[in-house]
Structure 1
């Protein structure tokens, strides 16, 4: 709002005058746009789900807790992790196998409830501890600064550790299933080489990263 000042005089006789000050306001023209000025405008952001931040905080806390346990109790933590993952892997494997047979019209075998238990025992007692010491051994035998370290680690893991570990798997699983020595010999003759070739084919790229770039805890 703008104001203008007007001064008037009124005569009172004998040359005396009273002075009056009159204020008149001039209305300020309204802007054409009723939107707020640029500095007051705010870019609207999509509302974030109320549960997203707590979920992220919870996940971060769980990861930090796991890393703390991994550092404080490395063998126990790795063993428990291996046991849980091995049991889940067996469950998924049985489910996929049953689904495949059902689609192919083949008879579906009854779900083996003892399978996840056997795999959990194997992961807990074998995979966790053996893997822990083997990867530490790789660090000692082939330091990161040594020449051709990445290739040496990969070759040792793929050509020595993987075949031996797979053979150990056949032995332990045969014992957990209550099978006999002839059963073990039959499994080794009919399944070992096929399983080893599949292991080399599928897991070699992952193991290259695992033995060379994943830090040892």
Structure 2
């Protein structure tokens, strides 16, 4: 009973925040879930020390990029292709999968690398090495999730729904980034 009461109070508070400040609420939610995803990724891979800078980078990206972009994308999507339009479900999914997903993935790879202090050329090279593989995985994992999200979840909750699922996606991405960094470091050790 206590758990249900806490969950109910949390849902009421979230809805109040969503009503009063939708963009800020979605940005903060995205920041929290992105940071949590990176933290869990570090725990799962048994990193010797929790990297707070990495968690901060992911949380900042969620706050500044993912939250606002998703909020505005979902609003725009409902205006451009209303739910009642002919073949709306498939049109909306195609816009998300072929437009929004590739853009957001590129921004995440590039921006997170820049936030690590890497220069433009290094960031572009890293994006080129990982982008296509990650985009194909994004299409496999996120396509059914986004079909449900953009067609059955009310607009005000789409960011929250995607953020909860994104925790697991970020765990995947952070582990791929760490594997690539370890491989690059091992390659540099061999050439020296």
Query: Counterparts of 2:120 and 2:114 in 1: how far apart (Å)?
Result: 9
Measure how far apart 1:90 and its partner are: 0.2
Query: Counterparts of 1:192 and 1:132 in 2: how far apart (Å)?
Result: 24
Query: Counterparts of 2:7 and 2:102 in 1: how far apart (Å)?
Result: 37
Alignment of 1:108-187 (within 5 A): 110-187=49-126
Query: Counterparts of 1:55 and 1:215 in 2: how far apart (Å)?
Result: 25
Which structure has the bigger radius of gyration?
A: 1
Alignment of 1:13-162 (within 5 A): 52=1, 54-98=2-46, 110-162=49-101
Instruction: Quote the residue 1:210 is aligned against.
Output: 149
Please list every run of at least 4 consecutive aligned residues from structure 1 whose deviation after the TM superposition is greater than 6 angstroms. Answer: none
Q: Normalized per residue, which structure has more strand?
A: 1
How many correspondences in the alignment? Answer: 156
Measure how far apart 1:182 and its partner are: 2.0
Calculate the TM-score normalised by the size of structure 1: 0.69
CA contact (8 A) 2:30 2:59 kept: yes
Query: Counterparts of 1:144 and 1:111 in 2: how far apart (Å)?
Result: 44
Higher mean C-alpha displacement, 186-195 vs 84-93: 186-195
Q: Write out per-residue CA displacement over residues 116-145 of structure 1, whole angstroms, 9 at most, x where no aligned residue.
A: 000010001111100000000110010111
Q: Normalized per residue, which structure has more helix?
A: 2
Measure how far apart 1:61 and its partner are: 1.5
Measure how far apart 1:110 and its partner are: 4.6
- CA RMSD of the aligned region, Å? 1.3
Query: Counterparts of 1:92 and 1:55 in 2: how far apart (Å)?
Result: 23
Q: Write out per-residue CA displacement over residues 33-57 of structure 1, whole angstroms, 9 at most, x where no aligned residue.
A: xxxxxxxxxxxxxxxxxxx2x4322
